[in-house]
Amino acid sequence: MVNVYHVIALRRRFRNGLRLMASYTWSKTLTDADAALPFFATLHGGGNAQNPYSLRGEKAISNQDVPHALVLSYVYDVPVGRGRRFVNKGGAVDRLVGGWQIGGIQRHQSGQPLSFCCASGGTGFGGYNFRYNLVKGQPIFSQQYLSGHFDPVNDPMFNSLAFSDPNNGGNPGSNGYQFGTMPRTIGNVRDPKFLSEDFKNP
């Protein structure tokens, strides 16, 4: 596994009681065998090798690849109570409304890549997954999805014409069974982005 990443982090404490931290991570993870959550990766074709006798063709984006991740966190001292701007005389009111903080964490990151499984397999490769070929000129996403009026209940997300079985549904040509040329995972088709918004009173 090869994992390349760059991280930028900023921290700042303001005089008005606001503490802010922001970090951005760019990364790329390549591998010929995903180790984390292999069962779930296998469910959509990302866990098994197409040709276990030659793993060179398995090198691709990892199922764990998350190229972009932005995290913002902050804590704000509410300016109410002893030593602060408002209601700073102490007493019962201070104990009731003073000393409060408001904090939050926002995490926005790319979705994980998907795999497409499976075309017809060949004799001697039982339990392994032959992949499709991508059809040149055909978009992977369906027209309904690309139109901007996608209905996830009734419309297909992917264009079935973009994929072809290299072995014609289990009927190989004169050269015998052929492996698909599609990568094990493709980075341009991913799960939805992960957006987490967490607000709290520390």
12 touches 20 (CB < 8 A): yes
Q: What is the pLDDT of residue 37?
A: 52
> What is the model's pTM?
0.72
Q: Which pLDDT tens digit goes with each residue over 86-144?
A: 777 767 777 777 778 889 999 999 998 888 877 777 665 555 578 899 999 999 999 99
Output DSSP code: residue 28. E
What is the pLDDT at residue 22?
A: 96
- Note the pLDDT of residue 74: 93
| CA–CA distance, 48 with 43 (Å, rounded to integer) | 9
**Residue 80: pLDDT over 60:** yes
Q: Pick the more confident residue, 29 or 119.
A: 29
pLDDT band at 7 (very low <50, low <70, confident <90, very high): very high
What are the residue boundaries of the structural domains of the chain, listed by start? 1-45+58-113+192-202, 116-183
List Cβ neighbours of 189 (8 Å cut-off, separation of 6 or more): 113, 114, 140, 141, 158
User: Mean pLDDT, to the nearest integer, of 164-172?
Assistant: 80
Read off φ and ψ for residue 143, nearest 5 degrees. Answer: -65, -35
pLDDT digits (tens, 9 = 90+) for 39-53: 555 555 555 678 878
